């Protein structure tokens, strides 16, 4: 079992519904977010391209945040999901500095918080909130160890990329391009 997410940049319109749904699902405090949308523009008028990406924790295989955590609060649980055990977190911020994706923030209550792939939903057989609301259905979440899963099929058939591959973290958010 290895959870991952594939996001189709050809379909994403950058509406940010994923961001709002995450906030209401996970009680993310005002002024913070666990996921966000970026836009890259390339080319010169009129030969211009845009890539829209919904970004979040990459749930890396070789996660620097987990490695550098002094208390073990940052950890990898079943399915490869990287989580922060709030009670064990001392809010030192080492993980924030080590993350190549800037995916973490310090919650006003003092611990570090980030995307959990909506572990509480996934364990009940639901999709993460961001995936479940997306109007364009551009996000695919599932088990890449299962060769017949929808996400495995998407990754088999579509051109893809990951962010910051040079960081060598083996990220598990894939962008279909």
Partner 1 sequence: MRTNRRQFIKISALGAGGLAAVTSTTSLGGSFLGIFDSADPGRDIDFKRTATYCEVCFWKCAAWTNVDKEGNIVKIIGNDDDPHCNGRLCPRGTGGVGMYNDSDRLKTPLIRVKGENGAEDTFREASWKEALDLIASKMKGIKEKYGAESFALLKHGSSGAHFEHLFKAYGSDTIGEPAYAQCRGPREQGFGATFGSWVGSPEPTDIRDTKCLVLIGSHIGENMHNTQVQELAEAIDKNVTIITVDPRLSTVASKSQHWLPIKPATDIALMLAWMHVIIYDELYDDKYIKKYTYGFDELKQHVKNYTPEWAYGITTIEPTVIRETARKMADAAPAVIIHPGRHVVWYGDDTQRERAMAILNGLLGSWGKRGGFYLKEKVKIPKYPQPAYPHPKWGWEEVSEDFPLAQMGLTNEIIRSSIPEENTKHKVKAWFVSGTNLPKSIPDTKNLEKALDSIEFLAVCDTMPMDVTGYADVVLPECTYLERYDKLRSATNREPSIALRAPAVKPKYNSKPSWWMAKKLGERLGLEAYFDYNDYSEVIDWQLRKLGSSLKEMKRLGVKKFDRTSGPLYIADGEDYEFATNTGKVELYSTELADLGFDPMPKYTAHPEPEQGFYRLIYGRAPMHTFSRTSNNPNLSELRDENKLWVNPKVAKLWSLKNDQKIYLKNQDGVVTTFPIKVRITERIRWDSIYMVHGFGNANKKLSRSYGKGASDTEMITNVMIDPIMGGTGMRGNFVTFIIDLKSVES
Residues that bind partner 1 (CB under 8 A): 10-11, 13-17, 19-21, 23-31, 33, 41, 43-46, 48-50, 52, 86, 107, 109, 113, 118, 120-121, 124, 126, 132-138
Closer to partner 1 by CB, 17 or 143: give it: 17
Closer to partner 1 by CB, 132 or 149: give it: 132
Q: Residue 109 Cβ, how far from partner 1 at the closest point, in Å?
A: 7
Closer to partner 1 by CB, 29 or 168: give it: 29
Instruction: Judge whether 20 and 32 are in contact, CB under 8 Å.
Output: no
**In the chain, what is the greatest distance between 2 CA atoms, to the nearest angstrom?**
53
**Sign of torsion, CA 136 37 145 153?**
positive
C-alpha distances in angstroms, 71 versus 64, 79, 112, 148?
Answer: 14, 22, 12, 38
Q: Residue 13 Cβ, how far from partner 1 at the closest point, in Å?
A: 3
């Amino acid at each position: 079992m290895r959870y991952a997410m594939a996001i189709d940049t050809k379909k994403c319109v950058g509406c940010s519904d994923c961001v709002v749904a995450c906030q209401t699902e996970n009680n993310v405090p005002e002024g913070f977010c666990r996921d966000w949308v970026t836009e890259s523009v390339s080319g010169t008028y009129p030969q211009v391209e845009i890539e829209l990406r919904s970004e979040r924790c990459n749930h890396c295989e070789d996660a620097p945040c987990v490695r550098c955590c002094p208390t073990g609060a940052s950890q990898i649980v079943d399915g490869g999901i990287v989580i922060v055990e709030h009670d064990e977190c001392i809010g030192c911020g080492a993980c924030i500095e080590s993350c190549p994706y800037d995916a973490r923030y310090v919650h006003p209550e003092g611990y570090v918080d980030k995307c959990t792939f909506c572990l509480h939903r996934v364990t009940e057989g639901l999709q993460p909130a961001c995936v479940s609301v997306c109007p364009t259905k551009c996000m695919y979440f599932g088990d890449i160890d299962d060769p017949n899963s929808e996400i495995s099929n998407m990754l088999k058939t579509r051109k893809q990329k990951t962010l910051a591959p040079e960081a060598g973290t083996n990220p598990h958010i894939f962008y279909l391009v």
